[in-house]
Amino acid sequence: MIKTSKSESIAANINIGVVGGAISACAIAILLHRAGANVKIFERSKGNLEDRGVGLTMKISTLNEAIRRDLIDADMPYVPVWQRTFGRKHTSKATYSTPWNDYWKQPIAFHANHWGVLYRSLRKRVPDNIYQAGSEVTHLRENDDQTVSIRIKNKNWQTFDLVICADGYESLGRKTLYPKSEISGAKYFLWRGMIDESTLPIPSMYESCIPFFGYPYGHGFVYYVPSPKYGAEVGKRRVNWAFHETIANKNIPGITPDDKGFVRKGLAPGEASVEQAAYCHKIAQKYFPTYFSDVVTATKQPFIQPVRDWNVPSYVRGRICLMGDGATLSRPHIGGGAGKAIDDAIALANSFEKHKDLDVALSHWNDERCAAGTEVWEMGRTLGYHLVESTPDWDSMDSKSMDTWWKNIMKDRKWFWVDEVVDWHPTENARSCSKLC
Ligand SMILES: Cc1cc2nc3c(=O)[nH]c(=O)nc-3n(C[C@H](O)[C@H](O)[C@H](O)COP(=O)(O)OP(=O)(O)OC[C@H]3O[C@@H](n4cnc5c(N)ncnc54)[C@H](O)[C@@H]3O)c2cc1C
């Protein structure tokens, strides 16, 4: 049994292996290494992860806590987003000042980030001597003395007091603990892309705002994220866009559903064929207001993100923890994967600080984070149903019917965290709307 003296952290001197080397892995490794644990990270990829990834959205309180804990730079660039609008094509001609018709506005509160920028800020706090790139973990074994052994591809076994699987959507930890668990797919997917802000004809349309454009097969959206090179400097940011597309009864070049009708395989940036890119551009031009379809069409290489999810019944078994996407992957409608991964890591470090017995610390963490994971997983499914699989007739909606529609979807839940910042939210109607958001 691992216990500590009164003054010592439970983490002090215990041996911890972390499987994976991205967002949740770096966050937990930094915190537990500082608390005195002997941490080793095993990341499968050899190359620099920083060069990959596009946009993501994060809760403001998570970013503030990550700064307070010195997980990321206090001046890490971000783009604040305070409002979501729902727009559609004008029935008459669009003009420069009104390129589409907004029929609903809603206060929201998140900071848009770039995956590479966030990763860079975390990774530089992980000492190089504890980060082993090019090390794929192939096996996990629980031993009789409560330790856990892992096998690194083409290398020997190594044994730890605790193994944290922060290994994302293909998690070996999840497959080992829940061998019968299946990743759920969806009968829709996301077209995605990114272009430079400098290429936009009316950049102000997206300032502080995330416009949504409904269509019969889901919706599109667009927001600014910082550029890895120039940060959040106006004029030099990146424009992150996406739209969903359902797959049933369609002939989408190169995209074939499995026998359940799910889209399992995506397209990485750079992989789209000429036919696929042309198809994506054509859909955008057919259904969306010109100014959004222009952004899509300006993207020479759109890519495809499949939609999948799962949620495990427990984040802990013995001395194995599952964390981040390895434990709960929610559909992307929530936009909170990276934030939830950092929240998981901070909560585990907090539990280590609070409790003096390792099993007690793990059990408290499990109760807290498993419940949080289940909530986002369920909400991702609900939003996917209403925003993509069973959309309202967007053209007939107005501000009042949108309020009712949203209230019925959310019931008592909150999305995009306005309540956390309601006292200083910059939009006028944040306080009156916070119940709806
Ligand atoms: C390179 C990259 C780019 C991303 N870009 C975006 C983005 O632009 N927008 C967005 O919303 N989300 C993005 N994500 C996903 C996002 O990071 C997660 O949804 C969220 O942050 C939770 O992260 P995680 O650390 O739990 O899992 P992940 O980010 O999936 O990281 C898991 C890590 O574990 C490693 N790994 C997996 N299996 C093994 C193994 N057996 N042995 C060793 N290592 C293993 C993987 O290589 C990966 O680096 C990206 C993920 C990665 C890895």
The per-residue pLDDT for range 257-301, each reduced to its tens digit, is 999 999 999 999 889 999 999 999 999 999 999 889 999 999 999
pLDDT at site 432: 59
pLDDT at site 6: 54
The mean pLDDT of 387-406, rounded to a whole number, is 96
Report which of residues 173 and 1 the model is more confident about: 173
pLDDT at site 437: 45
What is the helix, strand, coil percentage profile of the chain, to 5? 35, 25, 40
For residue 71, give Cα distances in angstroms to 67, 121, 177.
6, 8, 29
Mutate to test the pocket of ligand 1, among 155, 167, 171 (most ligand atoms within 8 A of CB): 167
pLDDT at site 429: 67
Which pLDDT tens digit goes with each residue over 89-132? 987 776 777 788 999 999 999 999 999 999 999 999 999 999 99
Q: Which atom of ligand 1 is nearest to the CA of 24?
A: 25
Which pLDDT tens digit goes with each residue over 212-229? 999 999 999 999 999 999
The mean pLDDT of 222-251, rounded to a whole number, is 95
Q: Which residues sit with their C-beta closer than 6 Å to ligand 1?
A: 19-25, 42-45, 49, 52-56, 115, 136-137, 166-170, 172, 324-326, 337-338, 341
pLDDT at site 435: 46
Query: Over the chain, what is the mean pLDDT?
Result: 93
pLDDT at site 355: 96
Q: Find the helix or strand (DSSP H, E) in which 106 lies.
A: strand 101-114
C-alpha to C-alpha distance for 174 and 166, rounded to whole angstroms:
10
Q: Which atom of ligand 1 is nearest to the CA of 326?
A: 26
Q: How confident is the model at residue 22 (pLDDT cuts 50, 70, 90)?
A: very high
Which domains, from first to last, does the chain contain?
15-44+134-183+309-381 (3.50.50.60), 79-116+185-302+399-433 (3.30.9.60)
Ligand 1 centre distance from Cα of residue 168 (Å): 5
C-alpha to C-alpha distance for 209 and 230, rounded to whole angstroms:
20
Strand pairing report for 38-42 and 131-132: parallel
- Lookup result for tokens 């994976």: 20
Ligand 1 centre distance from Cα of residue 324 (Å): 9
Percent of the chain scored above 70 by pLDDT? 96
Q: Whose CA is nearest to atom 10 of ligand 1?
A: 56
Residue 205 predicted with pLDDT over 90: no
The answer to whether 19 touches 165, Cβ cutoff 8 Å, is yes
Q: Whose CA is nearest to atom 21 of ligand 1?
A: 338
Strand-pair partners of 56: 113
Ligand 1 centre distance from Cα of residue 67 (Å): 21
Mutate to test the pocket of ligand 1, among 43, 153, 239, 346 (most ligand atoms within 8 A of CB): 43
Residue 193 predicted with pLDDT over 90: yes
pTM of the complete model: 0.95
pLDDT at site 3: 60
C-alpha to C-alpha distance for 347 and 369, rounded to whole angstroms:
8
Q: How confident is the model at residue 434 (pLDDT cuts 50, 70, 90)?
A: very low
The mean pLDDT of 334-363, rounded to a whole number, is 96
Q: Whose CA is nearest to atom 45 of ligand 1?
A: 20
Ligand 1 centre distance from Cα of residue 240 (Å): 19
Q: Whose CA is nearest to atom 37 of ligand 1?
A: 167
